[in-house]
Structure formats: C-alpha cells, structure tokens
Amino acid sequence: MSGIYNRRMQDLVRNLLAALGEDPDREGLANTPKRVEKALKFLTSGYDADIDLVLNNALFSVDYSEMVIVKDIDFYSLCEHHLLPFFGKCHVAYLPSNKVIGLSKIPRLVDVFSRRLQVQERLTSQIAETIKEKIAPLGVAVVVEATHLCMSMRGVEKQNSFAVTSSMLGTFRSDARTRMEFLELIKLRSASAMRSSAGANLVCIDE
C-alpha cells in the first residue's frame, strides 16, 4: 500500500476518538488514525477487485462431472450494521458442466466478497452466484459458518453469535442426495443451525 493516505478519513478517525472521550493527541493514539485507515482500506479492498482479473487464466474446459469441493476456507469480514468483524469458515462446492475454476481461485473469490461491508447471507449468495455466472455449472453450494463479534462482544443473544448460512443452486437445490453428499463432506460444526439464506438480516440483529 502506498504512503499516500486519505487525510479526510484520518480526520474522521481523530474526531471519532475525541467523540469517544479520548485524547487523539496522546502518544498511543497519535498514529491510530493512519493505522485505522490502512486497516479499513485493506478490509474493504474487495470493492476494487475485478472478478474477471481474479479468475484470469483459471477457467478450464474439462470433461469432468464429479463434485468439486473446497472446504474450510478462512475468511474475515465486517458486519455492515456495526462495522465489527464476523469471521469463520466458508465451504464451496460445484458440479461442473464443462468448465472448472482453478482451485486456488476459490479462496480468492471468497476474499473479494468478504473484504467489504457485508451481511453473512449476502456474502454467501454472492459467492454462489458468481461461480454460477462464471462457469455455468450444474449446481453450486456455498455454506458459511461465522462468529459475529457484534453479537458476542455486545452480549446480544450469545447463543446466536455463531451462525450458518447456505446458498444452494441448481442440482444442490433440486437434488437432496447431492445436497446431503456435500453436507456430509463438510461435516458442519452445527448441522442444526443450518438454515436457508432466504431470511435476510437474521444473523446480525440490527440494533
């Protein structure tokens, strides 16, 4: 990252520190605005990412029709309601029709959508929809398991601070056996927490 920082964002962070009752000029906080800006720019760098560039040279035509699975992809994102982290594991599977994505590109795709202000449900469906759009597979499945600091740190419904969301498209939606094979292979920490991605904004309580 270049040494040129947005003066305006640093001023905003200084004001925020003052509004919190802090002295932005004390030694420990002197460089905090610069660090916060750098951190936030990195954590939201997914907005600037070009999906086609990320997937460049990694879409291959194949004669292969078995399930492709990449599981336990670590991700870190920011909840758009509180600007606090939610993080965990993402599991991705698809059934190719005639194209596959280089395996190393799947975690990159997860990074692109997690390095934004997000809600877990939208993160889940954006990953699935992008794979569907780029390689037109027979089906795509994405499961995201995450801990939400906006819930656990604030003591809001602690039992729900760990949430599981899923997006099942194509054969993963229409064929229970395909779906079960995938779920069996990823062995969810909390299978009972499984629910559809239909109900938006349930993961992080908007308060």
The verdict on whether 90 is a catalytic residue reads: no
- By beta-carbon proximity to Zn ion, the closer residue of 144 and 150 is 150
Within 10 angstroms of residue 34's Cβ, the number of other Cβ atoms is 14
The site string for Zn ion over 79-98 (x = CB under 5 A, - otherwise) reads x-xx----------------
Count residues contacting Zn ion (CB under 5 A)?
5
Residue 157, classified by CB atoms within 10 Å of its CB into exposed (0-12), middle (13-18) or buried (19+), is exposed
- By beta-carbon proximity to Zn ion, the closer residue of 70 and 150 is 150
User: Which position among 10, 79, 90, 121 bears the catalytic label?
Assistant: 79
- By beta-carbon proximity to Zn ion, the closer residue of 88 and 137 is 88
Give yes or no for a contact between 191 and 179, defined as CB atoms under 8 angstroms apart: no
Binding piece for Zn ion, criterion CB under 5 A, among 11-19, 26-34, 74-82, 131-139 = 74-82
Q: Is 78 in the site for Zn ion (CB under 5 A)?
A: no
DSSP 84: -
Token couple for 98: 């005639």
The verdict on whether 81 is a catalytic residue reads: yes
CA-to-CA separations, 170 to 118, 138, 148, 185, 197, in angstroms, rounded: 24, 6, 29, 18, 15
User: Which position among 37, 118, 121, 150 bears the catalytic label?
Assistant: 150
Catalytic residues: 79-82, 120, 148, 150
